[in-house]
Amino acid sequence: MIFSVHVEVRLRPGIADPQGSTIERALPSLGFDGVTGVRVGKSIRFTVEGADEASARAEVEDMCRRFLTNPVIEDAVVELTAAEAAGASS
Amino acid sequence: MSRRVGVVLFPGSNCEQDVLEGVSLVEGQPEVLWHGDATVKGVDCVVVPGGFAHGDYLRPGAIARFSPVMSAVAEFAAGGGPVIGICNGFQVLTEAGLLPGALQKNRGLKFLCTTVPVRVEATDTPLTRSADKGAVLRIPVNHFEGNYTCDDDTLARLNAEERVVLRYVENPNGSIDDIAGICNEARNVVGLMPHPERAASELLGSSDGLPLLRSLVA
């Protein structure tokens, strides 16, 4: 089976985010008031083959731990959808 | 016989020539270690220099750590061999798990290119053994992601075990506890953001890097 994967890489809670705080400080100068808690992350999309959803997810989580994130400062949220099944049903 | 210092060259390294020249100045024998070769060629000391290894894609050091040479560097370090990571080299060593913590974007998103005073906090490392404890050295920094961070337990251990090797006198980038350089538990792997090779002659504005370069060949 082929799965579409979206990995959202986020700074872990409590880790300072200089990009987020710079954006947050810039927004009021454009008239956007009341914005707080800005955090900047990364979005990574790809497709992956796997026997089933559980094994594909396990592989993506291993990728996140070993390569796509730096676990010292980052977390990942993985979204996985079966691309092939969606194609077959149309 | 002079000590052989291997300088790792990745695609995107840009400080390797300065390190090679600095090692020659202190009468060491420098040589280049190619990233694609899984060997450190029997050198006495390895330097991972500054630059933008593999374009800093994904994160600085994230791709470089998988280079064939890095498995040889890790093996050399595990055997007690001295390994020094300067700037991008420090980022590579943290990504490779040879040093704890991580280097984040500077406080205020400021790219730094200036000379700063740093204090020598420990002299029992391969980078500082020819320096004086407490000495304040003027050494250039040149980085965007030099803001050292780690969890509270790691920081407590670094301090308790006197593994902070260099500290900024005035913190330029937001690094936790003013950390400019640290070493591993065995004290043979050292990472630092400042560039001692760029302070190797008064002609360059400072020769304060010389005691650190001399340490590599001592």
Instruction: List, as one string, the DSSP characters of B51-82.
Output: B-GGGG-SSTTTTGGGSHHHHHHHHHHHTT--
**Of residues A84 and B4, which shows the higher confidence score?**
B4
Domain that residue B129 falls in: 4-217
Domain count of the fold of chain A: 1
A47 interface with B at CB cutoff 8 Å: no
pLDDT tens by residue, chain B, 218 residues: 789 999 999 999 999 999 999 999 999 999 999 999 999 999 999 999 999 999 999 999 999 999 999 999 999 999 999 999 999 999 999 999 999 999 999 998 899 999 999 999 999 999 999 999 999 999 999 999 999 999 999 999 999 999 999 999 999 999 999 999 999 999 999 999 999 999 999 998 999 999 999 999 99
Instruction: List, as one string, the DSSP characters of B87-144.
Output: THHHHHHHHTTSSSSEEEPPGGG--EEEEEEEEE---SSTTTTTSPTT-EEEEEEEES
A68 interface with B at CB cutoff 8 Å: yes
Task: Write down the residue that tokens 């600095």 correspond to.
Answer: B22
Of the residues B15, B87, B150, B183, which is catalytic? B87
A71 interface with B at CB cutoff 8 Å: no
- Looking at residue B180, which CATH number applies to its domain? 3.40.50.880
**Are the C-beta atoms of B158 and B164 separated by less than 8 Å?**
yes
- Looking at residue A50, which CATH number applies to its domain? 3.30.1280.10
Residues 6 or more apart from B182 whose CB is under 8 A from it? B99, B100, B101, B148, B158, B163, B164, B165, B190, B191, B192
Q: Which residue of A has its CA nearest to B151?
A: A72
Name every chain B residue with its beta carbon within 8 A of the beta carbon of A73.
102, 104, 149
Residue B54 known to be catalytic: no
Closest CA to A84 of A58, A56, A63, A44: A56
Domain that residue A84 falls in: 2-89
For A22, the 3-state DSSP assignment is: helix
Domain count of the fold of chain B: 1
pLDDT tens-digit readout, A41-61: 999 999 999 999 999 999 999
Q: What pLDDT score was predicted for residue B184?
A: 98
- Is A86 a residue whose pLDDT tops 90? no
Name every chain B residue with its beta carbon within 8 A of the beta carbon of A70.
59, 62, 95, 102
Name every chain A residue with its beta carbon within 8 A of the beta carbon of B150.
72
Q: What pLDDT score was predicted for residue A89?
A: 44
